[in-house]
Amino acid sequence: MSNLDVKPKPVECGGREGVPGGPVHELLPPRRVPLGESTVVRRLLPSLGRRMVGAWCFVDHYGPDDITDEPGMQVPPHPHIGLQTVSWLHGGEVLHRDSLGSLQTVRPRELGLMTSGRAISHSEESPRGHGPVLHGAQLWVALPDSDRNTNPAFEHHADLPVVDGPGFSATVILGELDGAASPGTVFTPIVGADIALADGADVRLPVEPDFEYAALTMSGVTEIDGMRVDPGSMLYLGSGRRELPLKADGGSGLLLLGGEPFEETLVMWWNFVARTGEEIARAREDWMGGDRFGTVRGYDGSPIPAPAMPATRLKPRGRTR
């Protein structure tokens, strides 16, 4: 997954400043951004006023799109440092290639997890003969300073734990929910869960009071803690809860994202998460010079060139505006 903005703005985020000490309702409006040749995404993080939820620092929602006569997702090779990417689908398939030699088709409700560590490059595309619908979310998780230069890696987990009860089923994507733990590698206390609600569901989901949370409605209409959230919208919930009320009038699906507030301050630009502007500039120079990030083999197309660096100095600040 990539930020394909040709003039990306630096985003300073992280730190506990701006994390509410209790529950809140903060609706995060999406911003429409083109992704590759034929896909338009709704960008929810970073947004104006809210840049992180736990270690989650980037959230795109796309679809459901009819790609019957379209190429679908076509994202050429591009680089990453300092983060993990999470590929999550409700419909369609995405073919992942990376500079480690990984070649994997990710299907609905399977976890594609790539840890960039010090440097990796990858591509994503709808495979030939793809299905008619593409629907999913693309997410980034910031790595803490102790692990951000770790060896790059890719994981694919087709079987994930499920927590279920009357009117709901929750697939644990990352971290732990109600005692069920995902096999995906994590580096900070975090949770990501895909929750399906049946028509008429009235659920009180157990959550961690020390975590901050946000919920993204993927399909249908969900009432989250008493507030209606339409598809493609995300509600930031703050912290201090021990349970989260969820209701559905008609079936619905949502992503619950949460984690301990990320204490370190970061600077994020294009596809890089770092601590200083100098690190960002060095990563850009290495990518353009063919160093450090390796080669993605098998993709029919050229790598994405890095945009020009902004004229303003990049420096880390807080997690909100």
Tokens of 246: 């969820």
* Cβ(15)–Cβ(266) below 8 Å: no
- CA gap 193, 139 in Å, rounded: 12
**Element spanning 285, H or E:** helix 277-288
**Cβ-based neighbours of 317, under 8 Å, separated by 6 or more:** 12, 13, 15, 265
* Cβ(191)–Cβ(206) below 8 Å: no
* Cβ(110)–Cβ(89) below 8 Å: yes
Tokens of 119: 């440097």
N-to-C CA span, the chain: 25
Q: Residue 246, Cβ neighbours under 10 Å: how many?
A: 23
- CA gap 211, 50 in Å, rounded: 16
156 annotated among ligand-binding-site residues: no
- CA gap 52, 30 in Å, rounded: 14
* Cβ(251)–Cβ(196) below 8 Å: yes
278 annotated among ligand-binding-site residues: no
* Cβ(314)–Cβ(267) below 8 Å: yes
How buried is residue 229: exposed, middle or buried, by Cβ count under 10 Å (0-12/13-18/19+)? Answer: buried
223 annotated among ligand-binding-site residues: no
- CA gap 16, 261 in Å, rounded: 6
122 annotated among ligand-binding-site residues: yes
List residues bridging with 169 in a β-sheet.
164, 196
Q: Which residues are annotated as a binding site?
A: 78, 80, 122, 124
Instruction: Please give the annotated binding residues for Fe cation, written as ranges.
Output: 78, 80, 122, 124
